[in-house]
Structure 1
């Protein structure tokens, strides 16, 4: 890969210490213009909610499953193998973002025992998809799947395209975008915001602590809550 980024693998790894809502909170401070978009807006299913968040460069693609592709088997196979090459071609950790284009997304599962193992071997941390997942007790250890639904069948699942912009549950995402995801959903982090996130999280935590402390205090009053809110606003 010849691309350069204003962050390192260590910077991306550091962001896995916080859940996705905390990342969204930080983005409200460092990229306020992104407050109303750039994240998933519908419920999602985490294959293993106990896994840590994932954070990496997006590898984007689209699939369909409700009907056969109409292509020759060799063309379908070439599309699948080309996808593997695409996902593997990355200098930093990756997160797959796969949009199911069917009218009823999730008719057929692209993700299960085999593809979780394949993509883990391709060094992806996990996937965010509006499509379906299956084989929940046979997935590659540590590989996270954040999906729209759980479904038992492949149906006619096939790769349509890859490397383009996709939209998953309201989150628009392009190739090489930084994606953070966990059981709450996913968010795209602007490249120039990656290294600003930790400091913003620390500031947000200090502001929240003032309010949380008074809420758990034995002498809580509404007046003291108002004072705490005013005090938190002055923390910089």
Structure 2
């Protein structure tokens, strides 16, 4: 995938990305995005865009007595990706919680070019991670890392209510995390500006402070017309 496409995608928030994906009608509107348990730990950061490097792990259960993969083993797989890595960790523990990530993991991942981390588990050390400007998405904070260990690498994982395959294109910010089908990624990036302009018709009318209900109805009608035209064009593609 061209770096220009990724850069365009970074210019828009995840909510806009989801809006535009819907217009392609490539998947149901209630599929492809992570549920609210997976939240941005640093919602002030700009959007994260990258490709999933997946692993399963546990932190509350003691590790099995066999050789297990470690962080450098996961990093060594990033050459398989089509761009920067987003580490996606599925927590297999259901009987308790300890931290899946902290400042050691995030510094390690960031040093080798990762652009974010997503997990359905918990994290810690936010004060040590914050200076990295490294987006992390998780299900809360806990002080201890317990028995944190990796189990499998670059297999399908289930995080935030969806299945994430290795190499899946992800976009995330304060709104949450979504997948982007790679076959439409470039067109999604190109269509975001037009979608934002359509929404701006209503937003600008509302912000004048003088709009009547008739003005607002007209603005909504114009927005709907613009989005319908964009939908028709993207659906044909």
Alignment of 1:1-236 (within 5 A): 7-72=1-66, 75-76=67-68, 78-87=69-78, 89-104=80-95, 107-139=97-129, 141-235=132-226, 236=229
Unaligned runs of 5+ in 2: 230-237
Length-normalised TM-score, structure 2 = 0.87
Distance 1:91 1:202, change over 3 A: closer
Unmatched runs of 5 consecutive residues or more in structure 1: 1-6
Work out the CA distance in 2 between the residues paired with 1:112 and 1:44.
16
Indicate conservation of the 8 Å contact 1:128/1:181, yes or no.
no
Given the two structures, how large is their TM-score scaled by the length of structure 1?
0.87
1:75-127 Cα offsets, whole Å, 9 max, x none, are 13x4544223224554521111111111157x122311111111112211010
1:225 deviation in Å? Answer: 2.0
**RMSD of the TM alignment (CA)?**
2.0
Query: 2:3 & 2:10 partners in 1: Cα distance?
Result: 11
Secondary structure of 2:7's partner? helix
Partner Cα separation in structure 2 for residue 57 and residue 44 of structure 1: 17
Shift of the 67–43 alpha-carbon distance from structure 1 to 2, 3 Å rule, reads: closer
**Partner SS, residue 128 of structure 1:** strand
SS at match of 1:10: helix
**Contact kept? 2:5, 2:189, Cα under 8 Å:** no
Deviations 1:27-57 (A, max 9, x none): 1113452421110112434332222111111
Which range moved further: 159-168 or 218-227?
A: 218-227
Q: How many residues are treated as equivalent by the alignment?
A: 226
- Residue 232 of structure 2 is matched in structure 1 by none
Q: Assess if the C-alpha contact under 8 Å between 1:9 and 1:93 holds in 2.
A: no
Distance 1:151 1:87 in 2: 28
Separation in 2, partners of 1:25, 1:146: 21
